[in-house]
Amino acid sequence: MSHLLEQVATVYYAMSVGAHVLYVRSRNPRVIFEAIREHRTTSLVLVPQVMELFWVAIEREVAARGRLGSFNRLRRIARHLPYPARRRLFAAVHRQFGGSLNLIVSAAAFLPPAYQQAWEDLGVVVMQGYGATEAGVASATNQRDHGLGTVGRTIPPVKVKLADDGEILVSGPTLFSGYWRDPVTTAASLTTDGWYRTGDIGRHDKSGHLILMGRKKDIIVLPNGLNVYPEDIENALLTVGIRDAVVVETKPGRIEAVVLTPGEPVLPQAGAAQPSIGEPTPEMRALVETQIRAANHTLAVHQRVVAWRFWPEMDFPRTHTFKVKRDTVRAWVVLDEPLPVREEGPAPASGKGRR
């Protein structure tokens, strides 16, 4: 309920069309699946981490039946078919969700295109939205236009433009009048002509879709003047299979990554203490080393990760909106010793680089 999109799409819109809204209190995936199935849920509004959790559960069940290879081959065929045909191909999976799920709306964090593609292979449309509490919903995809990697077009009468440095600026009737009894912060958040400074960096593709690139405050400016967006590197790490990562600059020009240990994703916990992990095995280190090297091959030379370390808990500390507390991670990095990324060869078997 902390998310604007949740309030707009689920509360106001759903009630206006007479839909039932179910909030599941449990964080147990089995309980959540049973609730979706029992209520024959048609739409889910989720953060990307939960989408990933559900998808991993599907793949795990398919693998347990020895059908993962044929399942993935069928997915490659299905993505070329109309959505109703995809749903028929994967009828057995849809029965696990009550047979009615056809839409997922994702917001609040980066959605790896691979997960959007996975759900759409099954015949479930995945939409994304972007906005801020101060400015309302600035852009969104829709059921006819939901391309991978974009958050859609601007929704009139809201207006969106990019500043010279790429910062996304928003204006229109949904813009807030200011922070409560805080004129100084209000003035700092607006341009001289009244546009709200989102703090996000973005760009538009040739069709006018907005693509998010990262937070302005997190940009790393290298000694040679090049800008590095940590989110670009983190997205590359997600794409090669790392559960989650936070990219930091430990010294001028030195890019390192803090990663979660390999394993199944966990439901994000806002403000809750996470259980500590055990000593990572050599196999875990070797897997992460291989994944980081694979990600580096997809990145420009100035973006590549030179060292990494495991976060000592099951998940990163998060805000009430499930965003990673980057400042907490940065402060911890000062106390930890990283593992270097090697161009070739096996990952080091040392116990260093964990906490």
Range ranked top by mean pLDDT from 6-15, 99-108, 211-220, 287-296: 287-296
Please check whether residue 326 is in contact with residue 247, taking contact to mean a CB–CB distance below 8 angstroms: no
Please check whether residue 156 is in contact with residue 150, taking contact to mean a CB–CB distance below 8 angstroms: no
**More confident of the two residues 49 and 158:** 158
Same domain, 235 and 277: yes
pLDDT at residue 278 above 90? no
Same domain, 232 and 212: no
- Residue at 271 is within a domain: yes
pLDDT at residue 354 above 60? no
- Residue at 316 is within a domain: yes
In angstroms, the CA 182 to CA 177 distance is: 11
Same domain, 12 and 93: yes
pLDDT at 270: 67
- Which positions ≥6 away from 116 have C-beta within 8 Å? 106, 126, 148
**CB-based burial label for 61 (10 Å; 0-12, 13-18, 19+):** middle
Same domain, 258 and 156: no
Q: Which of 216, 236, 263 is the last residue of a domain?
A: 216
Same domain, 249 and 272: yes
Instruction: Provide the domain count of the chain.
Output: 3
pLDDT at 147: 92
pLDDT at 220: 92
- Locus of tokens 């849809």: 94
Of 90-94, 112-116, 286-290, 327-331, the least confident: 112-116
- Locus of tokens 């689920």: 10
pLDDT digits over 104-150, tens only? Answer: 999 887 788 888 999 999 999 999 989 888 998 899 999 999 999 89
pLDDT at 94: 95
- DSSP designation for 277: P
Same domain, 33 and 62: yes
In angstroms, the CA 153 to CA 129 distance is: 9
Question: Quick one: pLDDT band at residue 296, thresholds 50, 70, 90?
Answer: very high
Stretch 194-218: mean pLDDT = 93
- Residue at 26 is within a domain: yes
pLDDT digits over 68-92, tens only? Answer: 999 999 999 999 999 999 999 999 9
Q: Which of 189, 216, 243 is the last residue of a domain?
A: 216
Each as own residue / partner, the long-range contacts of residues 345-351 (CB below 8 Å, 24 or more positions apart, any chain) are 346/286, 346/289, 347/282, 347/285, 347/286, 347/287, 347/288, 347/289, 347/290, 348/285, 348/289, 349/282, 349/285, 351/279
- Residue at 196 is within a domain: yes
pLDDT digits over 21-56, tens only? Answer: 998 888 777 888 899 999 999 999 888 888 888 888
**Average per-residue pLDDT for the chain:** 89
Please check whether residue 291 is in contact with residue 242, taking contact to mean a CB–CB distance below 8 angstroms: yes
Q: What is the pTM of this model?
A: 0.81
In angstroms, the CA 112 to CA 88 distance is: 25
- Residue at 142 is within a domain: no
- Residue at 345 is within a domain: no
In angstroms, the CA 181 to CA 195 distance is: 20
pLDDT at 238: 86
pLDDT at 50: 84
Neighbouring-strand partners of residue 125: 103
- Residue at 353 is within a domain: no
What residues make up the domain containing 252?
219-340
Same domain, 113 and 212: no
Of 6-15, 153-162, 338-347, the least confident: 338-347
Same domain, 69 and 160: no
pLDDT at 273: 66
Same domain, 99 and 166: no
What 3-state class would DSSP assign to 99?
coil
pLDDT at 352: 44
Same domain, 117 and 160: no
> At 187, which CATH number?
2.30.38.10
Count CB atoms within 10 A of the CB of residue 103.
16
Same domain, 232 and 305: yes
- Residue at 256 is within a domain: yes
- DSSP designation for 224: T
Closest CA to 155 of 9, 45, 323, 1: 9
In angstroms, the CA 235 to CA 325 distance is: 17
Q: Which of 105, 123, 141 is the last residue of a domain?
A: 123
- Locus of tokens 């078919």: 81
Same domain, 169 and 234: no
Say what angle helices 48-64 and 29-38 make with each other, to 10 degrees.
Answer: 90
Count CB atoms within 10 A of the CB of residue 264.
11
Alpha helices in the chain (DSSP H): 4-5, 14-16, 29-38, 48-64, 68-78, 83-89, 91-96, 113-121, 183-188, 230-239, 282-298, 326-333
Stretch 294-310: mean pLDDT = 96
